[in-house]
Chains A and B, each alone.
Chain A
Amino acid sequence: MSKNSRITMLNLGSIMKNSHVHYIIFGLVLCLFPMMTSAGGMKNSTLSTLAFVLIFSIVALGLNLLLGYSGLISLGTAGFMGLGSYIAAYVQDDLGLGFWVAVLLAIAIPTLIGLLVGIISLRVSGIYLAIATLCIAEILAKTFEQAEWFTHGTAGKQSKYPTIFGMPMDRSSMFVVCAIVLVLVMMLTYNIVNGQLGRALHAMRSSEVAAQAMGVNVLKYKLFAFSVATLYAGLAGGLYLFFLRSSYPSTWNLFLSLNLIAMVVVGGLRSILGTVAGAFVIFAFPELVLKKLPVIGDASGLPYVFSGVMIILVIMFFPQGLKGLADLGVTTIKTVFSRKKVTS
C-alpha cells in the first residue's frame, strides 16, 4: 500500500500512479471502440472479437488469482462459465425476471457449486482440484446437452439483449457494459490482492508451511481464491450470453478452460493488466491475424496449436509472461535514458 499513501499529496503525478486510475483510463479507451465501429473505422466482427477478449479477461483474472497465488489449476472454468450463461438465459427469458436477477443468479449458483467442489477437493493435495473440476466440467457438459428444459440441448439456447435501467441494449452498448464490468473486476482484484487477503495469499505462495505457522488458514484462503475464480466465471458467462444472445453446449468444453489457463500463463502470473493482454494474445490474435495468413490460415487446429505452443514457450523460457516482457522493456528504456543523462 506504500504506493497509495502518496495519493494524499493530491498532485497529478501521484494520481497517475494509482492503479485504479490506470484501469479507468483503460476502460475509457475501450469505450472508444464502439464509436469507431459506428463511424465505420472498425468491422463489427472485430468489435465482437474484442468483446470476447474483455469477457475472457474477467474469467482469466479470477483464474490468475487461483493459479498465481495458490498454485491451483481449475479445469472446469468453461463449465462454470457455461452454467452462468445458461442460468442468465433461463432467468431472463424463461422466467422473465430481468437483467439484474439473471446476473445475480448467474454469479451465485456457479459460486455455490464451486464452494462445494472446493470444500471436497481442497482438503486433499492441490492436484485433486484439477481433477475434481475436470469431473464437474464433464458433468456440466452432459447437463448442457441433456437438460432440454433448461438449455435446449445441442440446438442451443437463444436469448435477447437485456434492458438495463430501462435502456434496451444493443451490440455497442453491451460492449460498453462489458468494459465497465471488466474495469470493476480489475479494481476488485487489485483491492483483494493488495489488502489483508492478498497478504495472506502472498504468504501462502512463498511457503504454505510458513504461512500456516504464522496463523494463515491455508484451506480457507485456497477456498476463497477458488470461489473468486468461479464467481468471475459465472459473471463472465452471463455477460457472454447477453453479448452473443445464444449459448451452445459445444462452446463450454475443456479447450476453453485450457485456453483460459493459457491467457493467465502468457499474460503473466499475478499481473492484472498482463492477464488482459494475455487474453488478447490468446483469443484475438488467432482470430484477427492467424486466420488471415495464406496457406496455414485455413487449418482448423491452428488456434489450439498456437495456444499450446505459447504456453510451453512461455513456461520454458519466459515464466514472467507479457508482464515480464513489459517490465523488461521499461527497465531497458530507463537505463538507456539514464545513460544519456550521464553522457550529457
Chain B
Amino acid sequence: MDLIIQPLLRSLETGSVYALAALGIIIVMRTSLVMHFAQGSMGMFAGSAVAFTFNRYGVPLLTSILVGAAVAIFLGFFVDFAIIRRLKRATAVGKEIITLGLIMVFLGLAPIVFGTDPMNLPRIIPRGDVALGSASISYNGILNIAIGVFIALGLFLILQKTKVGLAVRATASNESTAKLMGIPTRNVTLMAWAVAGLLGMLAAVMIAPTTMVTPTYMTAVQVSALFACVLGGFQTFYGPVIAAYIIATCSNFLKLYASSAWGDQLMYLLILLFLLFRPNGLFGKTYMKKV
C-alpha cells in the first residue's frame, strides 16, 4: 500500500507547487495575452530574496517571506507598468520574446544582487511527521498541500463570486469590450502580474527546502507549470491547476516504477503524444478563428 499512498502524498505536495506557478502563468496569459515564460525566474528572484534576508540578516522565516512577497509584488507591478503596458503595438511573439528577455535579466541579476553562493531555505514547519497507515507525510508537506489547495480554491471563488473576479474574467474574455464597459483593464492586468509574482514566490519558497536556492532552481517548476497549462488548456483557470496535480502524480509514479533518472523526460514525451490526440488540452475548447 505504501508504494501507492506515499508517492501520492508526495505528488500532492509537488503538485501544489506546480499548480501555483501554473495559476500565475494562466492569469497573466488570460489578462495580458502574454505567454509568461519568466514566471519561474521571477519566482526564483523573489525566492532568493527570501533566502537572502533569512540567511544574511537572520530575519525570522515568516517575516522573510513577507519581504519576498513585497519584492514579488513590486516586480510584477514594475514589469507590467514599465514594459508590458507599453507594448500595445508589439505582436504576440514580440511580447513572448520580452518575457524570454526577462528570464535572462532576472537570471543575471540574481547572482549580482544575492551573491553567487547557493543558499539554503528551511521548511516553514521544521519537523514532525504524520503517519497514514504505512505511509507518512511531514507537517510541512501538509501545509504545502493546504496552501496550494486553499489558494487555488480561494482564487476560483474570487474569480467567480466577486466584482473583481468579474472584471478579470471580462478582461480575459475580450479586453477592448471590457474597457468599453467601464472596466479598468489596466488595473486588472497590473493586479494579474502582481498576483502571478506572489504565486511564483510562494511556489519558490515551497520547493526551496527540497533543493538549494540557485538561479536555475525554478527551471523544472517553470517547465512543469508550462506543461500544466498546455495539458489543461489555456481557456479555463481550473484546467492548468488540475493538470498540475496530474503532472506531479505522473512524474512521481514514472520515477518510481519506470526509471528514476528519466521519469520527467518520459512524462514530457507522453504529454507531447497526448497533444496529438487532444491538441487543446484536457479542458480546452476549440474556437473557430474569425477572418
Interface residues of A (CB under 8 A from B): 67, 71-73, 75, 117, 120-121, 123-124, 126-128, 130-132, 134-135, 138-139, 142, 146, 209, 254-255, 258-259, 261-262, 265, 299-312, 315-316, 319
Contact = CB atoms under 8 A, between A and B. Distances in A.
A315 B96 contact: no
Given A130-B96, A315-B90, A315-B94, A301 B272 contact: no
A232 B105 CA distance: 27
Report the 4 A-B pairs with minimum CB-CB distance, sorted nearest first.
A304-B108, A308-B104, A301-B108, A311-B101
A277 to B, nearest CB: 18
B166 interface: no
Given A130-B96, A304-B107, A319 B280 contact: no
Contacts of A120: 272-273, 275-276
B223 A134 contact: yes
Given A142-B262, A312-B83, A315-B101, 5 more contacts: A126-B93, A132-B275, A209-B289, A254-B103, A261-B97
Interface string B275-291: 11001100000000101
B279 A123 contact: yes
Nearest to A127: B35
B106 to A, nearest CB: 8
Given A131-B230, A311-B98, A138 B223 contact: yes
B271 interface: yes
Interface of B: 35, 37, 83, 86-87, 90-91, 93-94, 96-98, 100-112, 116, 215, 219, 223, 226-227, 230, 261-262, 264-265, 268-269, 271-273, 275-276, 279-280, 289, 291
Given A138-B223, A139-B265, A142-B265, A308 B94 contact: no
B104 A311 contact: yes
6 contacts: A71-B91, A305-B108, A308-B102, A308-B107, A311-B104, A315-B94
Nearest to B269: A139
A120 B261 CA distance: 25
Contact of A132 (B98, B105, B110, B272): B272
B275 A316 contact: no
A307 B101 contact: yes
B275 A315 contact: no
A82 B87 CA distance: 34
Contacts of A300: 111-112, 116
Contacts of A319: 90, 94
A299 B111 contact: yes
Contact of B98 (A126, A138, A254, A315): A315
A309 B103 CA distance: 10
B108 A302 contact: yes
Contacts of B116: 300
Given A135-B227, A142-B261, A254-B219, A312 B94 contact: no
Contacts of B37: 130
Contact of A121 (B98, B107, B275): B275
Nearest to B89: A319
Contact of A258 (B103, B110, B276): B103
Contact of A138 (B109, B110, B265): B265
A6 B223 CA distance: 52
B213 to A, nearest CB: 15
Given A299-B112, A311-B97, A305 B104 contact: yes
A311 B100 CA distance: 9
Contact of A312 (B35, B105, B107, B108): B105
B41 to A, nearest CB: 10
B198 to A, nearest CB: 22
A73 B268 contact: no
A316 B83 contact: yes
A209 B291 contact: yes
B66 to A, nearest CB: 26
A146 B103 contact: no
Contacts of A261: 97, 100
Contacts of A127: 35, 96
Contacts of B273: 120
Given A67-B93, A139-B269, A312-B83, A305 B226 contact: no
A301 B215 contact: yes
